[in-house]
Amino acid sequence: MGGSVLEVREITKRFPGVLANDRVSLSLERGEILALLGENGAGKSTLMNVVYGLLSPDGGSVHIDGKPVSIKSPRQAIDMGVGMVHQHFMLVEPLTVTENIVLGNEPTRGIAIDFRRAKADVAEISKRYGLAVDPDAIVRDLSVGMQQRVEILKALYRGAKILILDEPTAVLTPQEVHELFGVVRSLVAEGLSVVFITHKLEEVMAAADRVVVMRDGRVVGETRPADTDTAGLAKMMVGRDVVFRVHKEPRTCEGTVLSVKDLRVLDERHLEAVKGVSFDVCAGEIVAIAGVSGNGQSQLIEALTGLRKVLAGTVTLAGMDITHASARRTIKAGVSHVPEDRHRRGLVLEFDLAENLILGDHREPPLARAGIMDTGAITRLALERVADYDVRTPSIKVTAGTLSGGNQQKLVLAREMGRNPELLVAAQPTRGLDVGAIEFVHSRIIAERDAGKAVLLVSLELEEVQSLADRILVLFEGRIVREVRAGEATDEELGYYMTGGGGSKLTEESVTVGVEVE
């Protein structure tokens, strides 16, 4: 290892009301895999966005190969050999793989883009690093794992020597994660240096040479995986001991609440996204749908909650047919829905808390009679819910947009659970939350179950699925390919089903990879 290729010294970055980076220093050695570990909001992405020129720091300096540099734009970062793969991919979906890779550095012949040369270049790089991908494919049609490859190729095409990966595993299956780490190792072997941002302890243990931990905008520690364990890392990351397993009493089925039979649903492009799904959810039971993003989860939820047309099949709630019910009737029938994207579907950010809390019940007495709303009743209900669900706010008259992410999610829970539903459909209920808020959401979901409600949980996080669910259904390409009881399957096994595993060859492969990691 020959000296630091990237060093940040005393970087400070302020946002209105937040000190996102407080005199942060760290260095990356040549040929090293450095994990930058921290909770959501710890300031990891801010720091890397500063390095990549997307944000300008309020103080401190960045050094590349020992020389101080001023990076004011991604263009300059690219020119200095820094590449970044963002958590939300920076890919233009309707364009081809090649177009995406060369965008901004297009080879030309005359005034036209030399697509032949572009394709040859892409093929050459993907061969060198073992990142096979079809250069003519439209990005929109690729799997998430493939899209990530395109992102990495984009950085390599631009001659990146330092690669920053922002939460690269968030959307991958365990198998894809292993593959990704394989790729990262081969990149390092070719002389690159890699920083990956994560909040997942196992990944740090499995892949990093060294780990820097951030909390509340500061570096709070640095260690090597060999010198610590996950519990030690967790304590460093959160600042206190963390209980990993949720406490949960075993329960038996107390009667079917939700019954889904042969459900078929189309997506926006009129392709069948849910292809004949059948399952039941009992009262007092949490059923989790596990799967890689884009395998029909969104369409399944939308169909169950009256937001999407059902093509065929039936949905029954406590004996009542709600297959073709509107969202409004579905709510009235007793289905509550914590949507996967709280900004888009969960809240009206411009509405105040009271208005958000009544959305969905706003036509029902005592909140409204004959179309006229009762402000007194609304205020009373809002104050009660805000207190019950510990939403931290100065007033119920502030807009939902002013709350922190955790409080916004509490607001959604307050509305959806406060309605006292028969069935709670929770989609990725902890996405983007910090550990404290995650614990709160999990305990509330368990409380619903213990109160005899049926809960359908959809999550991409296997850890969440494993710790909450009584029963796990694996969804792959619109079909339920596996059902297991809690604790019956390891993450690797679930991951294997999530990617459509079935043949023995794949099983062996995934097992070997698993062993290799341990």
Partner 1 sequence: MSEKPTGTGGFARVARAAIEQIATPVVSVVLAMLIGSAIIAAVGYNPIEAFSALFAGAFGTPRQIGETLMRATPLIFTGLAVAYGFRAGLFNIGAEGQLFMGGLSAAWLGVVLAGLPQPLNIVIMIVVGALAGAAWAFVPAILKARVGAHEVITTMMFGYIARYLVSWLVTGPLKAPGQIPQSVQIAKEASLPRLTDLLPMLGTGRAHLGIVIGVGIAVFLWWVLKYTTLGFEARAVGFNPFASETGGVSVAATTVKSLCISGSLAGLAGVVEVMGVHYRLFDQFSSGFGFTGIAVALLAKNNPIGVVAAAILFGAMSAGAGSMQLNADVPQKVIFIIQALIIFFVAAEQIAKFILRPFEGKKGAENA
Partner 2 sequence: MLSDVITPDLFASAIRIATPLALAAIGGTICERSGVVNIALEGMMLFGAFMGVVGATFTGSPWIGLLVAVISGGLLALIHAFASITLRTDQVVSGTAINILAAGLTGFFMEVIFHRPGTTDPVARLRPFFSVDGPSSGPLVEVWRWIDTVFLSYTPIVYFAIIIAVAGQWALFNTRWGLRLRALGEHPRAADTVGISVIRGRYAAVVASGMLGGLAGANLSLEQVGSFTEGMTNGRGFIALAANIFGRWTPAGSYLASLLFGFADALQIKMQVFRDVITIPSQFFLMLPYVLTVIVLAGVVGRAVAPAAIGKPYEKG
Site residues (vs partner 1, CB under 8 A) = 16-17, 305-307, 326-332, 337, 339, 344-351, 355, 359-360, 362-363, 368, 371-373, 375, 379, 382-383, 386-387, 391-398
* 44 sits near partner 2 (criterion: CB under 8 A): no
Whose tokens are 């690093």? That residue is 129
Site size toward partner 2 (CB under 8 A) is 28
Q: How far is the CB of 399 from partner 1 (least distance, A)?
A: 10
- Of 158 and 215, which has the nearer Cβ to partner 2? 158
Close Cβ partners of 15 (under 8 Å, ≥ 6 residues apart): none
Q: Does 364 bind partner 2 (CB under 8 A)?
A: no
For the chain, the residue count is: 518
Task: Kindly write out the interface string for residues 99-138 of this chain, putting x where it contacts partner 2 by CB under 8 A and - elsewhere.
Answer: xx--xxxx-x--xxx-------------------------
Among 10, 93, 124, 364, binds partner 2 (CB under 8 A): 93
User: Of 5, 13, 158, 159, nearest to 67 (Cα)?
Assistant: 5
- Decide whether 64 or 396 has the Cβ nearer to partner 2: 64
Q: How far is CA 146 from the centre of its chain?
A: 17
Closest CA to 359 of 405, 414, 298: 414
Sites for partner 2 among residues 146-205 (CB under 8 A): 154, 158
CB of 87 to partner 2, least distance (A): 12
Of 55, 61, 63, the C-alpha closest to 23 is 61
18 in contact with partner 2 (CB under 8 A):
no
How far apart are alpha carbons 487 and 155 in whole angstroms? Answer: 40
CB 442 within 8 A of CB 465: no
Q: Please state, in angstroms and rounded to a whole number, the distance separating the CA atoms of residues 313 and 368.
A: 35
> Which residues on neighbouring strands pair with residue 64, listed in sequence order?
6, 67
Pairing mode of beta strands 312-317, 320-321: antiparallel
SS3 at position 375: helix
What does 90 bind: partner 1, partner 2, none (CB cut-off 5 to 8 Å by kind)?
Answer: partner 2
90 binding partner 2? (CB under 8 A): yes
Q: How far is CA 217 from the centre of its chain?
A: 21
Provide the token pair at 508. Answer: 């062996």
Q: Please say which residue, 168 or 225, places its beta carbon nearer to partner 2.
A: 168
Closest distance to partner 1 from the beta carbon of 359 (Å):
4
Is 443 a binder of partner 2 (CB under 8 A)?
Answer: no
Query: Residue numbers of the site for partner 2 (CB under 8 A)?
Result: 49, 52, 54-55, 73-75, 78, 84, 86, 90-95, 99-100, 103-106, 108, 111-113, 154, 158
